[in-house]
Chains A and B, each alone.
Chain A
Amino acid sequence: GAVVSQHPSRVICKSGTSVKIECRSLDFQATTMFWYRQFPKQSLMLMATSNEGSKATYEQGVEKDKFLINHASLTLSTLTVTSAHPEDSSFYICSARTTDSFNQPQHFGDGTRLSIL
């Protein structure tokens, strides 16, 4: 079945550094990728919708300059957390879909646990 690979699975870094998370669709072309953030014991909150070759659409309250999203190809989207601080520590999950139709479900990566010291 369709597989989405997310890398790294876990990252620990110092405050002030930038962290890049990759999301790859391994066996299909992902026209759209989504980035979610999940706090402990809470639901997934959509951060942004990323369409290949165009600018990402951010949800209200998500800082565009803080969370840089690039979707340069049909198989790769990246989320860069710039100048990360402890409050950015969270579980980040990406998902990908092949078409705009809900008949094609989203396929989720296994997530990235980000810890900022």
Chain B
Amino acid sequence: AQSVTQPDIHITVSEGASLELRCNYSYGATPYLFWYVQSPGQGLQLLLKYFSGDTLVQGIKGFEAEFKRSQSSFNLRKPSVHWSDAAEYFCAVGAGRGSTLGRLYFGRGTQLTVWP
């Protein structure tokens, strides 16, 4: 069965510091992988996605993620964090077939706090 693990519940970094949010997945086939960001009381915004090809994908807001099949990981990175990056980050794997094609399985999320 598919699952997503985000081992870090809460991460705190200083503004300007680098960031890496971890994500591990379990899926029997080639995964479709996503990172979403959620601000308080809001829906989710797509940061980036991986389907195939280059294992290093670039997203919006200066984020990137690297797919490592051997480690079943899809970690999110940003070289220099801004205070506005403080939010909840969710990793997700896409699965489903037939009538449920397109369903996403989400990790528990990582809350990012940014110190000024």
Contacts and interface: CB of A to CB of B under 8 A. Distances in A.
A102 B103 contact: no
Given A42-B108, A105-B49, A110 B102 contact: no
Q: B43, B46, B90, B103 — which one has the most chain A CB atoms within 10 A of its CB?
A: B43
A32 interface: yes
B51 A108 contact: no
Nearest to A4: B43
A111 to B, nearest CB: 5
Interface stretch (A43-51, A62-70, A82-90): A43-51
Q: Chain B: interface residue count, which band?
A: 20 to 34
Contacts of B96: 49
B106 interface: yes
A6 B99 contact: no
A27 interface: no
11 contacts: A4-B43, A34-B102, A49-B96, A49-B103, A91-B41, A102-B32, A102-B49, A105-B34, A105-B46, A106-B104, A108-B43
